[in-house]
């Protein structure tokens, strides 16, 4: 796709405070929904598209329907996060963001990692288009 020469360069200003605040709010709502197994909020956070991907600890979700299916089958109860170690949020301009969370895995000597890529759609608002969760069983620290 050839860029439109009549349009200026996209804004890629890092971490505009109000955009960071928006993503932080969405991230925290998503984290609470994970603990509560609130499938409606979890689903609303993700882009309803066959192009959305979520790699989780025990499954790969290719497309919104697979991701939703995994969520409905997940048993209720506490999640795997014992405590947060580090949360990094990066926004570029007003329509793109990433979140990266490092956490202590509950009851294990392991470190978990979670990342999400957000895009703001004109008609949908912020949606996760890709996500990943993994565990380092032998952390280098």
User: Is beta strand 96-105 parallel, antiparallel or unpaired with respect to 60-62?
Assistant: unpaired
| pLDDT tens, position by position, 30-77 | 999 999 999 999 999 999 999 999 999 989 999 999 999 999 998 877
Report residue 137's pLDDT band, with 50, 70 and 90 as the boundaries: confident
List the beta bridge partners of residue 116: 99, 131
Angle at 63 between CA 88 and CA 93, to 5 degrees: 35
Whole-model pTM?
Answer: 0.91
User: Is beta strand 125-136 parallel, antiparallel or unpaired with respect to 53-55?
Assistant: parallel
Q: Which CATH number describes the domain made up of 17-136?
A: 3.10.450.50
Quote the distance between the C-alpha of residue 114 and its chain's center. 7
List the beta bridge partners of residue 86: 102
Do 111 and 136 meet the contact criterion of CB atoms below 8 Å apart? yes
């Amino acid at each position: 796709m050839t860029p439109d020469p009549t349009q200026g360069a996209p804004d890629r200003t890092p971490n505009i405070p109000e955009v960071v605040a928006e993503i932080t709010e969405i991230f925290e709502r998503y984290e609470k929904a994970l603990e509560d197994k609130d499938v409606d909020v979890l689903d609303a956070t993700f882009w309803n598209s066959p192009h959305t991907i979520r790699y989780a600890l025990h499954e790969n979700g290719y497309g919104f329907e697979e991701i939703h299916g995994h969520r409905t089958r997940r048993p209720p109860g506490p999640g795997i996060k014992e405590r947060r170690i580090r949360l990094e949020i990066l926004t570029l301009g007003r329509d793109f963001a990433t979140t990266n969370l490092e956490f202590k895995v509950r009851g294990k000597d392991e470190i978990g990692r979670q990342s999400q890529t957000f895009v703001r759609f004109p008609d949908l608002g912020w949606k996760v288009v890709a996500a990943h969760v993994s565990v380092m069983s032998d952390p280098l620290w």
